[in-house]
């Protein structure tokens, strides 16, 4: 199987997904300050070198400003968060349905976002080591569906405009079929694996994630496959994730076992995620979307880093 670090001559190190939005903050609203992001990055610095950012937004711009001014040794995967260009009537929570006018506006916004991804990748080429064309926009349950032909269009445009390797971040399942036409247009494949969302017990969790990875890697042996999301929630209201499966003890087991495997096999793996984000999901405080961080929203460490 092809190895990302060897192919792109990048040193192996650990990686994590970073979104710095605190209580009262969220994308499109209040953004973390310079000092708040600096505080976050100083917490992350001893443990991770590679950070994944999800969008070319004010938050990402501030992260790159802090890294430059504070001379921090981080490298970034920068993403463009593309939004719905088609309705997805199969979205299980009822999202994904838009008026035609909104879809037309989204089409234009995605073009602008891809242009910004190109511009920033060149402007911050010393920090950005790879880029992503989008996040979970092709899987059958997404609320921001974008057809694969459109993602291929983005891939061709970005490859012409930057020097960094490019990818698309998606659940592992679409790579087995729907996303096959995209593979020849990107430099590496990025998968997401969440055993706890698939009702797996902690004792079978890492083996399940490895099997997800190997399914894709064996299908494309000459294309590097990386894991851009793998994590374990620490709370749940019971909808989608069994509440008895999630706690800090299980997160610690999953993190340590996964890191042991990825280090042994030199697989670039962005753990999901650095900090809890209370703006996510429903208003229920036990909503699992809020509880994936290895640090709590108040920046205190959970068990895995305590």
Distances (CA, A) of 281 to 141, 236, 284: 15, 11, 8
Classify strands 166-171 and 269-271 as parallel, antiparallel or unpaired: unpaired
The total of structural domains in the chain comes to 1
Within 10 angstroms of residue 72's Cβ, the number of other Cβ atoms is 17
Q: Phi and psi dihedrals of 51, rounded to 5? A: -120, 140
Domain CATH number, residue 278: 3.20.20.80
Q: What percent of the chain has pLDDT over 70?
A: 100
| Residue 42: domain span | 4-305
Lookup: tokens for 112: 């602008």
Report yes or no: 79 and 53 within 8 Å, Cβ to Cβ: yes
CA Rg value for the chain = 18
Degrees (nearest 5) of the Cα angle 227, 77, 230?
A: 25
pLDDT of amino acid 94: 87
Q: Is 298 exposed, middle or buried (0-12, 13-18, 19+ CB in 10 A)?
A: exposed
Handedness of CA 223, 262, 56, 141 (dihedral sign): positive
Distance CA 136, CA 194 (A): 13
Confidence of residue 227 (pLDDT cuts 50, 70, 90): very high
Report yes or no: 141 and 96 within 8 Å, Cβ to Cβ: no
33-86 pLDDT, tens per residue? 999 999 999 999 999 999 999 999 999 999 999 999 999 999 999 999 999 999
Degrees (nearest 5) of the Cα angle 163, 167, 169?
A: 150
Segment 248-263 shows an average pLDDT of 98
Give which of 153, 148, 121 is closest to 137, Cα–Cα.
Answer: 148
96-122 pLDDT, tens per residue? 999 999 999 999 999 999 999 999 999
Residues 6 or more apart in contact with residue 119 via CB below 8 angstroms: none
pLDDT of amino acid 1: 77
Distance CA 280, CA 297 (A): 12
151-191 pLDDT, tens per residue? 999 999 999 999 999 999 999 999 999 999 999 999 999 99
Distance CA 275, CA 32 (A): 13
């Amino acid at each position: 199987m092809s190895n990302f670090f060897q192919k792109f001559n990048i040193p192996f190190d650990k990686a994590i997904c970073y979104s710095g939005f605190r209580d009262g903050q969220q994308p499109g609203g209040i953004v973390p300050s310079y000092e708040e992001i600096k505080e976050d990055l100083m917490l992350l610095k001893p443990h991770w070198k590679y950070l994944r950012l999800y969008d070319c937004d004010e938050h990402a711009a501030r992260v790159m400003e802090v890294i430059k001014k504070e001379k921090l040794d981080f490298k970034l995967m920068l993403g463009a968060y593309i939004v719905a260009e088609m309705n997805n009537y199969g979205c299980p929570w009822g999202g994904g349905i838009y008026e035609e006018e909104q879809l037309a506006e989204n089409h234009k916004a995605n073009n602008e976002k891809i242009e910004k991804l190109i511009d920033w990748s060149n402007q911050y080429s010393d920090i950005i080591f790879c880029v992503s064309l989008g996040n979970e926009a092709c899987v059958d349950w997404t609320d921001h569906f974008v057809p694969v032909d459109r993602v291929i269009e983005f891939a061709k445009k970005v490859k012409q405009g930057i020097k960094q390797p490019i990818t698309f971040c998606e659940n592992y399942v679409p790579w087995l079929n729907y996303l096959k036409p995209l593979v020849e247009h990107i430099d590496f494949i990025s998968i997401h694996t969440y055993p706890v969302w698939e009702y797996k017990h902690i004792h079978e969790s890492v083996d399940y994630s490895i099997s997800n990875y190997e399914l894709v890697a064996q299908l494309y042996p000459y294309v590097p496959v990386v894991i851009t999301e793998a994590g374990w929630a620490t709370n749940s209201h019971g909808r989608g994730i069994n509440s008895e499966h999630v706690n800090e003890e299980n997160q610690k087991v999953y993190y340590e076992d996964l890191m042991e495997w990825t280090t042994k096999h030199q697989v670039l793996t962005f753990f999901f995620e650095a900090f809890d984000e209370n703006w996510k999901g429903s208003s229920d405080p036990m909503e699992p979307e809020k509880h994936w961080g290895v640090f709590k929203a108040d920046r205190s460490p959970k068990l895995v880093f305590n």
